Structures are given as C-alpha cells and as structure tokens.
C-alpha cells in the first residue's frame, strides 16, 4: 500500500475506532444524573437535513425550542412539523399516555432517529435538557461552530425527579439585577431541571417592584444613596458615594413571567414582612410604630425598623399583596417573616394594648398574630403562604408552607406538625457563602459551603419517619447579594454549586455518587459552562490547609474536595509553581512558617487556588491554658492550635470570642521555661476587619502570686502583636487584652474581641 494511502487508511481506522468507543466515554455524563441510562455502541448524527417532529400541539413548543437552540452553533434551519410516526433522521417529541410521572420522560437515541417521550410538555422539556447534554459542549455556543460533528451517543434513558419542588432564590434588593440577567438566571435553572424561581423583591436595602397604589415604594424605597464599603461589620465602616437604584415595572415582571412559563419554571414572589421593611418605611414612615422618618438602609444585617401590627398596616399590605397576586400566576406568595427585632413593638403603647386585647403574652405571639393576619390576606387571594421558619414561633398560620433556613430544625418541627416544608438550610445550600478558604476567593458574607457540602446534603432528615418525610416537598438554594454586585460575581457563586443542588433535588438518593459527579461529570460541565461564557468557580479543585498536634509536633495537611488532585506547596511564603514540592504526606512544621499551596486542575488545565496558613510550633502548644471568663473556656483550644487566622477569610470557628469581657489567659508551661516573646493574633480575617483590643499586657510568674510585667502594647493595630522582652525563665504567663469598652454606637456597650492564637516563643 502506498504510504499516502496507508496514512489515509490509518486516519479512517482511528476515526472509526473513536466513533465506536465514543458512547462509552459518554456514559452517565448528564447532570443531574438520570434514574437509569443504558448506552450502546453507535450514535445519531445530527445534520442539516435532520427533521424535528411532534405529535401534539402541547409538544410543539418544546420541539420548536430545540430547533431554536440548535440553530446558532450549527447553522441548521431544521424544519419543525407535526407527524404521526417516527421516521429516519428525525427527532420526535411525543406526548404519550403511558404511566410516567408529570415531570418524567423517556429518551431513546438510535442510530437513525431520536424519540423523546413524556406524558406532559414539562417532561418533554426536561428530556430536551438531557438531549442537550448528550451533544458536544460546543452546542452551547451562541456563535457558529465550523467543522464540528454533532454526534449523540446511542442510549435509552428513563428519568424522573425525586422532589416536586426544586428551587433557587435570587435577592435583587441588596443589589439590583436587570431583566436580561433574570432571564439568563431562569435559563440556568431550566438547564439544570430546577422548576421554581423565588424572586426576593423587597428588603431593607431596596423595594424592587412597582405597586400602582403606592408609588413612593419605588420613587423613594427603590433607591439608597450609598453602600457600605467592605464588610458591614468592619471596624469603623466606610461608605461609597454610589447610589443603588432600580425596580421592575409590571410590564417587565410580565415579560419575565412569560419567559419562565415557556421554560416550565414557577416564579414565586417574596414580599418580606414585618421585618426587613426599612425600604417600605422610608417611603411610608406612618406604617411603623414610632412613625418617624427612616432611610433606605446602606448597610446589611438585621434592623429594628419593622411594620406595626395596626389595622392601617394590614390594609396597606392587603392592597400590595392583591397587586402582586394579580401579577404572578404562582400558587404561592412568600411573605418572609424572618429576623424580626421586636424592640419597637415592646416600646409601643399600641402594641401593648393589642397584646391585652388578644391575650398575647410574648413578642413572639405578636409576630404570630401579624403573620396570621397576613396569611389570611394571601389565602383570600387564592394563594398559599410560604414563610421562613421564624413564622413557627408563637404559633403558625394554618396551611402555611415552612422554608427552613436556620438549619434543619425548623423543617423537622414543621413536618412533625403536618406542614409542608421546603428545606433551605444556610449551612448547605446558601450560595452567598465562601466556596474555599483560598485568598483568591471574592468577598462573601461569611461561612464556608463547598461543592461537596451542597452535593452531599439530603433534604429529608433521618430523624423523621416515612410519613413525616413526605411533608418535605423539596429544597431551595439561595443567592443573597449583599456582597454580590455584578452578574459575573453572581455566576461565580452559582456555578458549579447549582449543578450539585440540581442533582441533590432531581436524582434518587441511591443513584448519587460524589466520585462519579466530581471526577467524571464535573469536568464535562466545566467545558459546557466555558462555551456558555459563565464565570465558573474552580474552588472544588483548590487546596485546603489544616493542622494537627501530636507528640511529635505540629503537622500540616493539604487536601482538595475532589480526590487525586496534584498539589504543590512552598514553605517560605513564595507562590507555588509546577516546579515546587509536590505534596504527598503531612508536613512537620519546626518553625513559624507560612505554608502556601496550589493544585493542578486537569479539567481546567492550570494551577488554581492560593491557600495560605501561618503555622507556629510555639512553646505553649498542648500546655494548660485557663481563661478568667468561664463562658470562653470552650474555645480556649483555639488559642493554642498553632494557627494564625489572618491568612484566611473570616470564620468565627477560628477564634475564642469575648463579647462582654476582656481576655485574661494564664498559660502553664509545666516548668520554668526561657521565653522572649508572646505573639497575639487578633483583628484578623480576610474581607472582615475585626475590632482590635485597646491594650495588650504580658506578665510572668513562677508561683501565680507574684507577677512581673514583661511587655505591653498600648496601641495594637493587628492582625498580630509581637511583644518581645528580655529573656526570662518563668512557668506561668498571663496575657491580657483589653476589650473596647465603647463602640461608635452608644447603644453597643462593648465590641466583640476575637483572639485566634497566643504564641509563646
């Protein structure tokens, strides 16, 4: 055989072999993972002359959506026509009467045709999302792709969701997002087979929906003059000079609702009352108990201004909820009910009178009275009420659905009471939390919710029996936007955690596998997100540094959420590269060291992360430490764990916290020991400036009766104070840090004092 012909033959043979094994590489690549999927050799080749058919008018819209989705990257103008039977080189969307769940579907890909079967248009739509993922990732491009084979592996899929309620929330009050972004958000939910979008439209920082009867809600309540710079709890916070404004007209809301309806997503509005109502009261201060002017909040958190439980307030809310109900076709309205500070109620003569009239003994019962009154308003509009789990306090309204966010306890209580429950615990599925402890993570509110945390969360607690678990109708992720100002930042916080949530809510519990998801399917999702130009977080590939202390010393370990990721590190504070030391076992730390690490993510093709931790194997490790304040004793170990916290983002778990007292710690070195320095770590934590102590003192003793002053710092600046002194031999060290006795706010008697380490050298 001539050489050039042999080369052509070899290329042809390799191509045939590639096409033969392609389906096996494609096995189980769909996320969320289907109930069952059986792959065969072969593929269906989508081409310019493929036809798209449907058998019923209700299936026509899905068939047309599929053709529209294919057009930009392929350039194919595929005809969409009604047919009775499946024919060669066609994709057939078929409504059938077989016993399939309302959202279930069957997808059959043969070499010569594709059949999509479901008993509802919604089921066909979810099937289309699976078919979309069977195509190469390039199908996600909205620009033409040349020289691309659009091959779909031969497979039979039977699939249906585990939960009927699969939701995702977006806060547009703290930062406003335009209609174009809301539509993209809905597209993302649809791609991941989520079927509920909760639109958090009102809060202290802005009212975002037009209400005809009360125009000042948007002319006044939709704008704040500036926003806190940094974290809202920073020491001496600053503000920018940029107004945040915006709201949705009723026409825009209708536009979004039509868009969501076409994607089989229910949009639930949230109008949060009676707390988180500063924007309402800025517009209509007469609705408060004090009836004094207030401003739309420029900081974040929980505030004292609340709606007053008066008849004029309920009349106001009746009008608001009526306009909302007329606009939104959803069966639900979310009324909030969370984080209500009751101080203004307790100071109000009107509320005291109300409590006497209705035999209300506690502020929680006043809240229950308020929520029940609002629930009746909503129920009279033929809507069901959803509220955060605080509405359980003092007695809950009949037929209210409980959204459990402060953990799972509220959901468990509600299920035992016979209320339907939507789980939304902040520890697992709040996407405003950090995704790793690396320093290259963007600013977030607090806490750590990694990809694996989301994936392994189960909405049905084991301490409920089967009957009670049936009241858990699903779960909902949340994206609060205090520190999320831009769409790109929102994308980073959503992806890929949104895919993990989707699998948690769609796939059966027994069908889930973290190794399969993280190692086999997540890399494919990254390629798909890349084609969609989504700013995807690679946090699950980033390293995490931890340490332990044993008889041999202080040891550092470096791990990643996803197994078998190569990690490279340095011990001199320099940035790791592929030429740095590769991690393979815990590292013995023999002197104060800043350990830095990066990992190599093959799915991305680069080193990722910036993990840092300063470790100190000092003399006081494992030694007895006594705190003068008994309440802090439980956190004393954090003062002697060999870690300084300033290399990390803020986490309360790093600190011994003194809310109402000074630090006074006595360290027993077990025997007289030469010491020359004490280092105190405080006021640390990336993205959150904590409050420094007023003064630090170090004293030494050999009998705990006579104390010698060794050093003091009268102007601590942080994040670490190193108090050095002439070498002295002592058994006991007393370290005192004086808490600030007064903040800038005269209502706060003392500021919290956070101490992360007392290192003795």
Q: Which of 51, 234, 323, 339 is catalytic?
A: 339
Residue 3 scores a pLDDT above 50: no
What digits encode the pLDDT tens for the residues 152-204? 999 999 999 999 999 999 999 999 999 999 999 999 999 999 999 999 999 99
Query: What global pTM score does this model have?
Result: 0.93
With b for 16 or more beta-carbon neighbours within 10 A and e for fewer, the 462-478 pattern comes to: eebeeebeebbbbbbbb
| Whole-number Å distance between alpha carbons of 424 and 403 | 6
Confidence of residue 232 (pLDDT cuts 50, 70, 90): confident
With b for 16 or more beta-carbon neighbours within 10 A and e for fewer, the 655-666 pattern comes to: bbebeeebbbbb
What is residue 452's DSSP assignment? H
* Residue 276 appears among annotated catalytic residues: yes
Confidence of residue 744 (pLDDT cuts 50, 70, 90): low
CA-based Rg of the chain, rounded to a whole angstrom? 30
What digits encode the pLDDT tens for the residues 482-504? 999 999 999 999 999 999 999 99
Residues 221, 282 contacting (CB under 8 angstroms): yes
What digits encode the pLDDT tens for the residues 73-91? 999 999 999 999 999 999 9
For the chain, give every residue range classified as CATH 3.30.379.10: 24-159
Any idea of the CA torsion for 63, 68, 73, 77, to the nearest 10 degrees?
Answer: 90
CATH number assigned to the domain with residue range 165-506, chosen from the 4 options 3.40.50.410, 3.20.190.10, 3.20.20.80, 3.40.470.10:
3.20.20.80
The predicted structure's pLDDT at residue 635: 79
Q: Residue range 554-580: average pLDDT?
A: 97
* Residue 315 appears among annotated catalytic residues: no
Domain 539-615 sits in CATH at 2.60.40
Residue 518 scores a pLDDT above 60: yes
For the chain, give every residue range classified as CATH 2.60.120.260: 624-760
* Residue 339 appears among annotated catalytic residues: yes
| Whole-number Å distance between alpha carbons of 678 and 282 | 51
Confidence of residue 327 (pLDDT cuts 50, 70, 90): very high
What digits encode the pLDDT tens for the residues 336-377? 999 999 999 999 999 999 999 999 999 999 999 999 999 999
Q: Which CATH class is domain 624-760?
A: mainly beta
Q: Kindly report the average pLDDT of the chain as a whole number.
A: 93
What is residue 441's DSSP assignment? S
| Whole-number Å distance between alpha carbons of 613 and 161 | 42
CATH 3.30.379.10 fits 24-159, yes or no: yes
Residue 135 scores a pLDDT above 60: yes
Residue 258 scores a pLDDT above 60: yes
The predicted structure's pLDDT at residue 631: 63
The predicted structure's pLDDT at residue 684: 79
Residue 10 scores a pLDDT above 90: no
The predicted structure's pLDDT at residue 748: 53
Q: Residue range 609-630: average pLDDT?
A: 93
* pLDDT above 90 as % of the chain: 86
Q: Which of 169, 200, 276, 419 is catalytic?
A: 276
The predicted structure's pLDDT at residue 13: 41
Distances 85 to 53, 55, 156 between C-alpha atoms, Å: 9, 8, 19
What digits encode the pLDDT tens for the residues 448-466? 999 999 999 999 999 999 9
Q: Which of 160, 203, 441, 654 is catalytic?
A: 203
Residue 305 scores a pLDDT above 50: yes
Q: Residue range 257-274: average pLDDT?
A: 98
The predicted structure's pLDDT at residue 603: 87
For the chain, give every residue range classified as CATH 2.60.40: 539-615
Confidence of residue 397 (pLDDT cuts 50, 70, 90): confident
What digits encode the pLDDT tens for the residues 17-71? 443 444 334 454 899 999 999 999 999 999 999 999 999 999 999 999 999 999 9
The predicted structure's pLDDT at residue 169: 98
Q: Residue range 563-581: average pLDDT?
A: 97
Q: What is the DSSP string of 458-495?
A: -SS-TTS-HHHHTTEEEEEEB---TT--SHHHHHHHHT
The predicted structure's pLDDT at residue 743: 53
For the chain, give every residue range classified as CATH 3.20.20.80: 165-506
Q: Residue range 508-515: average pLDDT?
A: 96
Residues 6+ apart with CB under 8 A from 597: 543, 545, 558, 567, 568, 569, 570, 576, 583, 609, 611, 612
Confidence of residue 6 (pLDDT cuts 50, 70, 90): very low
The predicted structure's pLDDT at residue 216: 98
Distances 307 to 302, 313, 637 between C-alpha atoms, Å: 14, 7, 44
Lowest-confidence pick of 34-43, 314-323, 655-664 = 655-664
Residue 4 scores a pLDDT above 50: no
The predicted structure's pLDDT at residue 24: 38
The predicted structure's pLDDT at residue 20: 41
């Amino acid at each position: 055989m001539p050489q050039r012909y042999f080369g052509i033959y070899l290329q042809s043979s390799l191509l045939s072999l590639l096409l033969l094994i392609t389906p096996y590489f494609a096995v189980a690549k769909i996320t969320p993972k289907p109930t069952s999927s059986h792959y065969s050799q072969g593929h269906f080749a989508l081409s310019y002359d493929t036809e798209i058919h449907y058998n019923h008018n209700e299936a026509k819209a899905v068939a047309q959506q599929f053709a529209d989705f294919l057009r930009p990257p392929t350039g194919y103008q595929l005809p969409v026509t009604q047919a009775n039977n499946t024919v060669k080189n066609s994709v057939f969307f078929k409504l059938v009467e077989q016993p399939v769940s309302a959202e279930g579907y069957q997808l059959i890909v043969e070499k010569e045709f594709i059949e999509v079967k479901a008993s509802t248009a919604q089921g066909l739509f979810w099937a289309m999302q699976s078919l979309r993922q069977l195509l190469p990732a390039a199908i996600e491009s909205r620009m033409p792709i040349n020289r691309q084979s659009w091959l779909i592996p031969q497979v039979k899929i039977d699939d249906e969701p585990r939960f009927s309620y699969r939701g995702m929330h977006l806060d547009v009050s703290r930062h406003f997002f335009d209609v174009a972004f809301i539509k993209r958000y809905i597209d993302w939910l649809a791609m991941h087979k989520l079927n509920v979008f909760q639109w958090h439209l009102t809060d202290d920082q802005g009212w975002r929906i037009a209400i005809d009867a009360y125009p000042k809600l948007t002319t006044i309540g939709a704008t704040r003059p500036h926003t806190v710079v940094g974290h809202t709890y920073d020491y001496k916070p600053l503000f920018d000079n940029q107004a945040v404004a915006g709201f949705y007209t009723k026409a825009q809301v209708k536009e979004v609702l039509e868009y969501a309806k076409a994607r089989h997503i229910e949009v639930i509005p949230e109008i949060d009352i009676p707390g988180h109502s500063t924007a309402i009261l800025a517009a209509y201060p007469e609705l408060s108990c004090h009836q004094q002017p207030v401003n739309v909040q420029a900081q974040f958190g929980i505030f004292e201004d609340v709606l007053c439980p008066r008849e004029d307030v309920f009349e106001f809310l009746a009008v608001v909820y009526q306009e909302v109900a007329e606009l939104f076709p959803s069966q639900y309205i979310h009324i909030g009910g969370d984080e209500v500070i009751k101080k203004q109620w307790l100071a109000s003569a009107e509320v005291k009178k109300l409590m006497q009239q209705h035999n209300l003994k506690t502020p929680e019962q006043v809240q229950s009275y308020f929520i029940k009154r609002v629930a009746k308003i909503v129920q009279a509009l033929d809507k069901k009420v959803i509220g955060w789990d605080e509405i359980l306090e003092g007695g809950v309204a009949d037929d209210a659905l409980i959204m459990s966010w402060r953990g799972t306890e509220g959901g468990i209580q509600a299920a035992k009471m016979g209320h339907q429950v939507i789980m939304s615990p902040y520890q697992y599925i709040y996407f405003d939390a950090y995704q790793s402890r690396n320093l290259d993570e963007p600013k977030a509110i607090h806490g750590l919710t990694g990809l694996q945390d989301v994936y392994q969360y189960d909405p049905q607690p084991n301490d409920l029996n089967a009957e009670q678990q049936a009241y858990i109708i699903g779960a909902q992720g949340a994206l609060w936007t205090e520190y999320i100002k831009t769409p790109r930042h929102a994308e980073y916080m959503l992806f890929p955690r949104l895919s993990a949530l989707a699998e948690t809510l769609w796939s059966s519990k027994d069908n889930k596998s973290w190794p399969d998801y993280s190692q086999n399917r997540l890399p494919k999702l990254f390629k798909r997100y890349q084609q969609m130009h989504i700013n995807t977080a690679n946090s699950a590939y980033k390293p995490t540094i931890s340490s332990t202390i044993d008889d041999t010393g202080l040891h550092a370990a470096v791990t990643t959420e996803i197994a078998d990721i190569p990690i490279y590190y340095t011990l001199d504070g320099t940035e790791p590269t592929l030429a740095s030391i590769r991690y393979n076992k815990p590292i013995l730390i023999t002197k104060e060291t800043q350990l830095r690490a990066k990992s190599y993510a093959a799915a991305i093709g680069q080193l990722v992360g910036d993990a840092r931790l300063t470790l100190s194997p000092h003399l006081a490790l494992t030694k007895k430490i006594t705190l003068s304040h008994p309440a802090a004793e439980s956190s004393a170990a954090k003062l002697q764990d060999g870690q300084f916290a300033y290399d990390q983002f803020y986490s309360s778990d790093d600190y011994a916290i003194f809310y109402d007292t000074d630090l006074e710690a006595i360290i027993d070195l077990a025997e007289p020991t030469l010491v020359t320095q004490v280092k105190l770590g405080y006021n640390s934590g990336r993205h959150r400036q904590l409050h420094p102590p007023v003064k630090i003192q170090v004293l030494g003793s050999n009998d705990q009766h006579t104390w010698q002053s060794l050093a003091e710092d009268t102007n601590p600046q942080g994040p670490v104070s190193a108090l050095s002194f002439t070498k002295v031999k002592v058994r006991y060290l007393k370290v005192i840090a004086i808490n600030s006795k007064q903040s800038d706010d005269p209502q706060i008697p003392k500021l919290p004092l956070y101490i992360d380490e007392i290192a003795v050298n």
